[in-house]
Amino acid sequence: MTQTGDRRPVRTVLAERRDPPPGPRRTLRILMWHVHGPWTASFVRGGHVCLLPLTPDRGPDGRGRAAAWTWPDNAVEVPVERLRDTDVDLVLAQRPHELDLAERLLGRRPGRDLPAVYVEHDPPGGDVPHTRHPVADRADVTLVHATHVNALLWDNGRAPVAVVEPGVADPGHRFAGYRARAGTVVADPLHRWRAAGTDLLAHIARSAPLDLFGTGVTGVPARLGLPPHRMRVYEDLPRRAVHDRLAHCRAYVHPARWTSPDLPLVEAMMLGLPVAVLGTAAAHETVPPEAGVVTARTDRLCAALRDYLADPAHAREVGAAGRAAAPRRYGLARFHADWDRLLQEVTR
C-alpha cells in the first residue's frame, strides 16, 4: 500500500500477476445491482453468491438477472422486501445512490456495518482532471477503478483506491472475415453521441461499410444520413448472436472519444478481428502494436480499415496477434483472481 500526496491509500491489483490470493478462498454473499451488462456477466462467473435486487417492474434499481445473458445459478434474484432478512457479506455499488439505497434496504450502513466497494467503470466527466468522485469523502469504501488512467484522472479524495482491469469470457477464435465490412458495438449511441464517437461514424462509413451493434442503434443511420449499404444496424441482439455476426466482419472499429477499455473491443480481439481504435483513455494499453492501429487521427483510422478490408490475409494476421494477447490480459481467470485477492483483503 502506498500513499499519494492527497492522502489516497492506493492498492493496485496488477493484470500481470498470476499468483492466487493468499489463504483459503471464502465464498461471499455480495449485494449488487445489474448495471453494466458485460462487466456483470464476467463478475457473476467468479463463484461468489451475487444477490441481485428485484422489484415488480424490473426497473433500474431492481432488474434482477439479465434477460439477454446466460448467468450461472450463483446469481440470485432477491425481492427487495426480503433483503433486510438476507445475509450479506459485502455491498458492491456501481452508481452514486446505491450506497444509500443499500442502507435503506438492509438497515445497515455500507462501509460501517459491513464492507463495501464502489466499482467505477468510466473515466470522469466535467472539469477533468478536477472532477471529484462521488465517494471521494468515504474513507470506509474502497473505490475500484477499471483502469489506471481512470484512477489517475478522477479526484479520489480520501477513498482507498484499487485498480482491477476488466475481464471477459472468451468467445473463441472465430474470425471468418468474409464480409468486407467493419463491425462496431456502441451502447446508446444517440444519447452518448460525442463521448461514444457516434458523430465520427459517418466519416468512417465512407471508408469502410459498418455493421453497428448495440442498444438504441436503430435511429443512427437516419441521424447520420447513411444509406443501408454504408451502415446496417443490429438492435439489442443476444451476446452470442453479436459474436457470430462480428466474426463475419473483416475488422473492428472503436470510435469512442472518452471511455474505459471497451469490453466489446476486447471481445473482438479475442474473436480474432484486427482493430482500429481511437487513441484515447487507455486504448494504447489495451491494444498491442501488432494487433491493430491506435491513433487520434481519423484519417489513419480510416486508412487502417481500408487496408484490412482490401487484404483479408493481412486482416487475419493482425487479428491473430490480438487473439494471442487479449485472453492473457483480459481473461476471466485473471479477472477473478484479482477480485478474489481484493475482496479477501476488504472483508478480512
Phi, psi of 33 (to 5 degrees): -110, 150
- Note whether 238 and 214 are within 8 A (CB): no
For residue 166, is the peptide bond before it cis, meaning its omega torsion is within 30 degrees of 0? Answer: no
Q: Of 249, 257, 251, 252, which is closest to residue 298 (Cα–Cα)?
A: 257
- Global pTM reads 0.86
Find the helix packing angle between 263-271 and 312-330, rounded to 10°: 120
* Grid cell for residue 260: 474505459
For position 14, what pLDDT does the model report?
41
- Note whether 209 and 215 are within 8 A (CB): no
Paired with 278 in beta bridges are: 295
| Rounded CA separation 291/205 (Å) | 21
- Note whether 121 and 94 are within 8 A (CB): yes
CA neighbours within 13 Å on the CB side: how many for 242? Answer: 26
Tens digit of each residue's pLDDT (9 = 90 or more) over 311-334 = 999 999 999 999 999 999 999 999
- Note whether 52 and 78 are within 8 A (CB): yes
**Neighbouring C-beta atoms of residue 25, cutoff 10 Å:** 13
**Architecture of the 179-330 domain:** 3-Layer(aba) Sandwich (3.40)
For position 229, what pLDDT does the model report?
95
The answer regarding whether domain 2-167+332-347 maps to CATH 3.40.1710 reads no
Give burial (CB, 10 Å; 0-12/13-18/19+) of 125.
exposed
For position 9, what pLDDT does the model report?
46
Query: Helices (DSSP H) in 9-147: which residue ranges?
Result: 37-43, 98-106
The parts of the chain modelled with pLDDT lower than 50 are 1-10, 12-18
- Note whether 124 and 133 are within 8 A (CB): yes
Tell me whether the CATH fold assigned to 2-167+332-347 matches the one assigned to 179-330: yes
For residue 135, the 8-state DSSP code is: T
Tens digit of each residue's pLDDT (9 = 90 or more) over 222-280 = 999 999 999 999 999 988 999 999 999 999 999 999 877 788 999 999 999 999 999 98
| Rounded CA separation 38/210 (Å) | 22
| Rounded CA separation 114/93 (Å) | 13
| Rounded CA separation 196/212 (Å) | 13
What is the secondary structure of 246-283 as a DSSP string? HTTEEEEEE--SS-S--HHHHHHHHHT--EEEE--TTH
| Rounded CA separation 296/177 (Å) | 25
- Note whether 308 and 315 are within 8 A (CB): yes
125: left (phi over 0), alpha (psi -120 to 50) or beta: beta
Where along the chain do its domains lie? Answer: 2-167+332-347, 179-330
